[in-house]
Amino acid sequence: MAIQKTEAIILRRQEVRETSLMLTGFSRQLGKFQGLVKGVRGGRAAVPWYLEPLTLQAVILYERRRSPWVLVSACDLIDGFEAIRRDLTLTAYAAYCLDLVDEMTGVADPHPGIFEALLAVLKGLESPGADPPALTRFLEIHLLRASGLLPKSEAFQKLLNTPFSQAAGLRLARETELPLRRALQGLLRGALERDLRSRSFLLSLGLDNAA
């Protein structure tokens, strides 16, 4: 088994077996992975709070031949994005972003740009005066481009040309953001062929409606 050390954003967590968890993470070097964490449930072994989605972890992974998942031997919390967790609106946008990356990427298909875009968006959501819709459009555009589904358009260039390090400062006027939102949601609906629950949750809060 090959050992990998990497930073990863946890996208999803699922309880499996009696004492184990399956984490879906996204890393810069490996792309999306599904990793089994053993011995963290059952009996007196409470699940550590930081083994949750919406965390940035330093992980040690054991890649197994002929297996679609890896073994996670260590997780060290780097960032729990506490400012996002304390705000329902920010949490809803972050959950949609995590869900979208999970749905739009395949296992073991590295896309460093997607990792950087997602991390920039999560850090941006924590910044004072954040513009969640603009940050969300930033991630959607990068995901669609990485998937080969983004048509050439001047309307997308501002976000595509924004460096990851400057994403936190993104601001879009409503008259600019709204048509962009409609266009991107149309492309995403065609790609996903279904509505994401996290997207429906956003709409139920009266957020990010393209109407």
- Per-block mean pLDDT, blocks of 10 residues, the chain (211 long): 90 83 94 87 56 93 83 92 97 98 95 98 97 98 97 94 97 95 95 93 92 65
DSSP H/E element including 79: strand 70-79
Domain 2-79 has CATH 2.40.50.140: yes
Report the distance separating Cα 26 and Cα 115, nearest Å.
7
In CATH, 83-204 is 2.30.29: no
Residue matched to tokens 């809803």: 92
| CATH 1.20.1440 residue window(s) in the chain | 83-204
What is the pLDDT, as a whole number, of residue 193? 87
**Count of all residues that appear for the chain in the document:** 211
- N-terminal to C-terminal alpha carbon distance within the chain: 51
CATH 2.40.50.140 spans which residues of the chain?
2-79
User: Tokens standing for 118?
Assistant: 């997602």
Our measurement of the distance from residue 1's CA atom to the centroid of its chain's CA atoms, rounded to an integer in Å, reads 27
What pLDDT was estimated at residue 21?
87
Specify the pTM.
Answer: 0.93
**Could you read off the pLDDT of 18-61 as tens digits, one per residue?**
778 899 999 999 999 999 888 765 554 455 667 899 999 999 99
> What is the residue whose two structure tokens read 């739009």?
104
What integer pLDDT is reported at residue 44 of this predicted model?
Answer: 46
Tell me what pLDDT residue 38 has. 82
